[in-house]
A and B are shown apart, each in its own frame.
Chain A
Amino acid sequence: GAGVSQSPRYKVAKRGQDVALRCDPISGHVSLFWYQQALGQGPEFLTYFQNEAQLDKSGLPSDRFFAERPEGSVSTLKIQRTQQEDSAVYLCASSLVLAGGPWETQYFGPGTRLLVL
């Protein structure tokens, strides 16, 4: 079946621009995560949704970052007034069961590579 998809795959923004990154999770998956992966580093958690509820946003680096999942399916990560330090790959992952089950597996999308000039 279809996996997690993300768009755009690449985004170049001028410093100060707003950007919106989209994630389409696997159909029926309850949990959705956003991660940020800096060059040469492992992914780091940004925020987590269970259906449409944003249960954890402790990883968002500043109030310029905002995420939503209004209908419990597609999610959008928005970055306002982008800065050069926002340049990274933004990964979306989804999982079928409620987070915390030992059998949980997160399936990742291909990521959106954001470059802020």
Chain B
Amino acid sequence: GNSVTQMEGPVTLSEEAFLTINCTYTATGYPSLFWYVQYPGEGLQLLLKATKADDKGSNKGFEATYRKETTSFHLEKGSVQVSDSAVYFCALLNSGNTPLVFGKGTRLSVIA
């Protein structure tokens, strides 16, 4: 079946630190991969996506590269800000009429 595994949180970083949140997946076929972010008190927002192997999704300084050989889609940011504090969800969408499959989420706290 389809599943997503992401690193356990919470992750606490100082402002301007480098961020990596690991995400690996299991899927049949060739899924599209997503990172969603949930800020405190708000709904899920799409952060970035990649639809095929070796694609790099990027937005707001965040990046993730679709690695088919390692079935991974790790989220990175070179210099985090306090405003990046949120819960980050890795997700996949397989071909056909299927819903998103989410990881459990990783809570990031950035301190000044």
A residues with a Cβ closer than 8 A to B are 4, 33, 35, 40-45, 48, 50, 55-56, 59, 91, 93, 98-100, 102-111
Contact = CB atoms under 8 A, between A and B. Distances in A.
Contacts, number: 66
Interface stretch (B11-19, B67-75, B76-84, B99-107): B99-107
B45 interface: yes
A111 B89 contact: no
Interface string B86-98: 0001010101111
B44 A105 contact: no
A109 B99 CA distance: 15
Q: Interface extent on B, as a size class?
A: 20 to 34
Contacts of A109: 43
5 contacts: A33-B100, A42-B91, A43-B100, A91-B43, A107-B46
Contacts of B43: 4, 91, 108-111
Interface in B12-66: 32, 34, 36, 42-46, 49, 51-52
Contacts of A4: 43
Interface of B: 4, 32, 34, 36, 42-46, 49, 51-52, 89, 91, 93, 95-105
Nearest to B95: A100
Contact of B99 (A33, A102, A103, A110): A33
B99 A105 contact: no
B100 A106 contact: yes
Given A42-B105, A110-B43, A35 B97 contact: no
Given A91-B44, A105-B49, A45 B100 contact: yes
B88 to A, nearest CB: 10
B97 A50 contact: yes
A102 B100 contact: no
B105 A35 contact: no
